Amino acid sequence: MSEDLDLSIQSKEAELKQLRQRMEELRGQFISDTAKFAAKWFEETAQLYVTKKPEVTINMGKERLAAMKQKVIALARNADTLITNALSGAKIWWHQNPSKEDSLYQYQQVGTRFPELIDKPIRRALGELGVILEQYDYGVTVGVYAKEPYMEYWYERPSDSETFALPRPYFPHLLVWSDEMQRTMTRYDAIYKQAFTLFLDIQKLKEEKKRRQASALWNAT
């Protein structure tokens, strides 16, 4: 009976390994999709604020406006690094650190509600545009203290465990992922559900093996 359990565990672990490999491929694809989205988003959102507050833009002067534009372009060109760093945490991707304590639905999308586990790091990366918008007086602040009333607060407060951390840039408004991002995450979610269920089965089999070993030891004593 113990041999049967071992064979079952080995078979399921081999299947889980394949699923985790596929999930790693999808992780890379999602990061690539998101970097492309972010690069375009930085430039389009900057232009939106330039036209939304025309008096600021007109009064800025060509030289200062050109300097701002170069910073936005540089930010867009750095999107790949920003997104890769934002989405590099092992706790973000279940397949890199499998746990039975996680939710089966943590990567699920419902309409324009995207999985918080992934959406939050993306918003932190996008929040870097707020640093530029604040510098050039477009009514945005990435800090707790606003220069003037009615500013947009583009920051995330540190969690209770981050005692001495400062607020970090964070895009707080409606954000709709690109179609490519949504499709890739849907595929990741589908495989995650298979892998998670399989992982739980493996844990149950391992626990059963321990119980049988304990029982055999007792009976042999």
pLDDT, tens digit (0-9, with 9 covering 90-100), for 105-139: 999 999 989 999 999 999 999 999 999 999 999 99
**pTM metric for this prediction:** 0.92
pLDDT (tens digit per residue) in 57-75: 999 999 999 999 999 999 9
Stretch 95-104: mean pLDDT? 96
Element (H, E) at 141: strand 140-141
| Whole-number pLDDT of residue 158 | 76
CA 19 to chain centre: 20
Residue 96: DSSP 8-state: G
Instruction: In whole angstroms, give the CA distance from residue 150 to residue 141.
Output: 10
The chain-wide mean pLDDT, for the chain, equals: 94
Q: Which residues have CB under 8 Å from 159's CB, separation 6+?
A: 165
For residue 164, pLDDT beyond 60: no
pLDDT digits (tens, 9 = 90+) for 15-37: 999 999 999 999 999 999 999 99
Residue 166: per-residue pLDDT: 79
CA 218 to chain centre: 49
The pLDDT value given to residue 46: 98
- pLDDT-based confidence at 149, cuts 50/70/90? confident
Q: 155 by DSSP, 3-state: which? A: strand
pLDDT of amino acid 41: 98
**pLDDT over 70 (residue 163):** no
Q: Is the predicted pLDDT of residue 88 greater than 80, yes or no? A: yes
In the chain, the percentage of residues whose pLDDT exceeds 70 is 95
pLDDT of residue 161 exceeding 70:
no
Query: Cα separations (Å) of 21 from 12, 146, 198?
Result: 14, 46, 14
Can you give the pLDDT at residue 4?
86
Residues with Cβ within 8 Å of 20's Cβ and at least 6 positions away in sequence, in order, are: 95, 98, 195
pLDDT at 51: 97
Residue 144 three-state SS: coil
> How far is Cα 127 from Cα 169, in angstroms, rounded to an integer?
5
The percentage of the chain sitting over the pLDDT mark of 90, rounded to a whole number, equals 86
How confident is residue 142, by pLDDT bands cut at 50, 70 and 90?
very high
- Please report the pLDDT score of residue 160 as a whole number: 61
| 3-class SS of residue 99 | coil
Residue 44 amino acid letter: E
